[in-house]
Structure 1
Amino acid sequence: MSIRVVIADDNALIREGLVRVLERGGVTVSGVATSADDLVGLARAYRPDVVVTDIHMPPGEGRDGMWAALELRRTNPEIGVVVLSQHLEPEFAHDLVADGTTRVGYLLKEKIAEPGLLVDAVRGVAAGGSVLDPDVVAGLMSRGRVTGPLAGLTTREREVLALMAEGRSNTGIAESLYVTVPAVERHVTGIFTKLKLQRAGAGQHRRVLAVLAYLQAA
Structure 2
Amino acid sequence: MIDSPLRVVLAEDSVILRDGLVELLTARGCTVVATCGTAPELLAAVGETRPDVAVVDIRMPPTHTDEGIRAAVELRSTVPEVGILVFSQYVETVWAARLLAGGAAGVGYLLKERVARTSEFVEALRRVAAGGTALDPEVVTRLMGGGRRSRVDALTPREREVLELMAQGHSNRAIAGRLVVSERAVEKHVAAVFTKFDLAADGGDNRRVKAVLTYLAESGS
TM-score, normalized by the shorter chain, greater than 0.5: yes
The answer to whether the 8 A contact 2:10-2:34 is kept is: yes
Residue 137 of structure 1 deviates from its aligned partner by: 2.0
**For 1:215, which of 197, 213, 216 is the aligned residue?**
213
- 2:77 is aligned to 74
Q: Partners of 2:157 and 2:168 in 1: how far apart?
A: 11
Q: CA 1:100–1:137 in 2, change beyond 3 Å: closer, same or farther? A: same
Structure 1 residue ranges (4+ consecutive) displaced by more than 4 angstroms after TM superposition: 209-212
- 1:10 is aligned to 13
Count how many residue pairs are aligned between Structure 1 and Structure 2: 175
**Which letter maps to 2:212?**
Y
**For 2:158, which of 193, 200, 209 is the aligned residue?**
193
| Structure 1 unaligned residues grouped into runs of 5+ | 159-189
Alignment of 1:57-136 (within 5 A): 57-112=60-115, 114-136=117-139
| Structure 2 unaligned residues grouped into runs of 5+ | 170-192, 194-207
Residue 135 of structure 1 deviates from its aligned partner by: 1.7
Alignment of 1:123-162 (within 5 A): 123-141=126-144, 143-144=146-147, 153=151, 157=153
The alignment partner of 2:91 has SS state of coil
More off after superposition, 63-72 vs 91-100: 91-100
> What is the CA RMSD across the aligned residues, in angstroms?
2.9
**Which letter maps to 2:21?**
L
**TM-score scaled by length of structure 1:** 0.69
Q: CA 1:54–1:124 in 2, change beyond 3 Å: closer, same or farther? A: same
1:32-55 Cα distance to aligned partner (Å, 9 max, x none):
001000000011001101000101
The answer to whether the 8 A contact 2:104-2:167 is kept is: no
Q: Partners of 1:139 and 1:10 in 2: how far apart?
A: 25
**For 2:57, which of 54, 59, 67 is the aligned residue?**
54
Identity %: 41
The answer to whether the 8 A contact 1:100-1:208 is kept is: yes
**TM-score scaled by length of structure 2:** 0.69
The answer to whether the 8 A contact 1:21-1:119 is kept is: no
The answer to whether the 8 A contact 1:94-1:215 is kept is: no
**Which letter maps to 1:120?**
E
Q: Partners of 1:192 and 1:27 in 2: how far apart?
A: 39
